[in-house]
Each structure stands twice: as structure tokens, then as C-alpha cells.
Amino acid sequence: MKTPVTVLGLGAMGTALARAFLAAGHPTTVWNRTPGRSPELDSLGATRAATAGEAVAAAELVVVCLLVDDTVRTTLDGLDLTGRTIVNLTNSTPGQARATADRISAAGARYLDGGIMAVPVMIGGPAAFIFYSGAQAAFEQHTADLSVLGRPAFVGADPGLAALHDIALLSAMYGMIGGTQHALALAGSEQLPAVGFTNEFLMPWLTAMLGSLLPRMAKDLDDGPAPGAAGSNLAMQSAAYGNLIEASVAQGVDPAMLVPMGELLRKAVEAGHGDADLSAAVQLLRTAD
């Protein structure tokens, strides 16, 4: 008998989570604020609860996937959570996750915060992974159950750490997407076909840059800059960056996505890092240091 599980929230992601549990043979109780959402779950064997309280009562393992942190608070507040393990996969900040952990613990339950690194169609597949942090014993007890959703990565007992990892990766994704959107707008300004430009040039370029530049930047941050390693110093990059802005404006493309990076490079050079590598600019972003 597989571990019974409750899923609160049947949006696009909650539905995918419930489907994965059902496919793996877990008795699955579901609840959603708007009744009747994702009717296909009924034929897959889900049990529908009429209220969130009824759903929480149905299983020790409760997976929550709602829109935002506030939604989680209003949904769970006042419910009897005694003895439950609450796994909250709603997008949160580290601060929100820590506050939720305090409230859930005070209500007599164990708390795991999670950050899903997948879109709904990836859930249950090989590329999906999910960060968890918080109650380690609960994670160890339920590792196999949670594995049906995606590879579980426990990142620490501090409940805020999963959200930190999640938000760091989402920041990288949105930065990358912003850059690619700008590149595609530039290509479009000369009617270049997006698919050909992407497959032939954009993807290979990004793949090469990620493969060479990112590991070196990370190593420099951990170990200090490798002597003489910089082949693309910041003074050169800052000097060339103005062309990116000028060309965009001339092509009728809003340079808003590019301007902040140009500012960062300029500040890094002004601060005396002209001979350094991109890792020096990472340090400048840390306003709390």
C-alpha cells in the first residue's frame, strides 16, 4: 500500500502533482477552492474532499500547491494540522517560507518547504527536480513518496533554503529569457526567421557560453580569481556594451532588458575591476556585504 497523500490546489501544477501521485498508485485526496476543477482526476481514482479541513484529515502527507504565500496562509489557518507533514510547493520567498514553517510547527505539524524546478508537463519525468528544506526527518520518511514528482533535492534544515535555491534559479531563467527575447526582437527587426536564428545561432551560442563561462565564474567566486585567466576583461566588455544599446535603439528595439547589465559593468570598471572577470561584477550585486 502506497502512502496516502492529500493535494491542496488543483491549478495547472497541483493537477500535475495529483496525476503523478495517482499514476504511482498513491491513494490521493484532492481539494480545490473552486469545486470540480480538473475532472479527469476523478476517473484516475482521486477522492475529492469538500473542504480543505476534510482533505487534510484524509492523509498524514499533505502537499500544498496554491497561487501565492498568502493563499496558503488563508487556506491552512484554523485547520487541525496535528501530526501532519505539510509539504508546501507554492512559490515563496525565504522569509515567507520561514514564517510559514513557524506557523505550521506551532500548529503541531512538520513542515517542508519546496521549490519546483519544472513546468507541469515535466512532473514525474526525468528532468523535473524539486528543492526541499525544513524538517529533515519528514523529508527522509517521505523521500520515496516525493520522488514520484521529480528528483528530490534536500538543501537544508533552514526552511528558507529551498525558496532561496528556487528563486536563484528562476532569476537565472528570467535573465536568460529576457536576453533571448531581446535577441529575437533584434533578429525580427530585420525580418530574420525566429526558428532558424534560434536553432542555428542562439542555442549553440548560449550552450557554449553556459558551458564555458558559468563554471569558471562559479569557481572564481568560490576560490578567488584564477591568475591570468581572464580573456574577456570587464573594461573591454564595458567599452563594447554601448554598441548593444546603440544598435538596439537604431533597430527600433527597446533596450530596457540590456541597460542594467551595462550599468553593472560600468560600476565594476569604476570600482577598479577593469582587469577582472565577470565574477567581480557578481560581488557588486551583493548590496548586504
Binding site for ligand FVH (CB under 6 A): 9-14, 32-34, 37, 65-67, 71, 74-75, 90-91, 116, 119-120
Nearer to ligand FVH among residue 131 and residue 241 (C-beta): 131
Nearer to ligand FVH among residue 173 and residue 245 (C-beta): 173
Strands of 129-134's sheet in order across: 47-48, 28-31, 5-8, 61-64, 85-88, 110-117, 129-134, 151-154
Distance CA 105, CA 274 (A): 50
Supply the angle between the helices 94-106 and 161-188 in degrees, to the nearest 10: 150
Assess contact for 281 and 269: CB atoms under 8 A. Answer: no
| CB-based contacts of 66, cutoff 8 Å, min separation 6 | 8, 9, 11, 14, 72, 75, 90
Assess contact for 236 and 243: CB atoms under 8 A. Answer: no
Nearer to ligand FVH among residue 71 and residue 141 (C-beta): 71
Q: How far is the CB of 11 from ligand FVH (least distance, A)?
A: 2
Q: How far is the CB of 235 from ligand FVH (least distance, A)?
A: 39
DSSP three-state, residue 124: coil
Nearer to ligand FVH among residue 33 and residue 103 (C-beta): 33
Nearer to ligand FVH among residue 37 and residue 266 (C-beta): 37
Residue nearest to ligand FVH (CB): 11
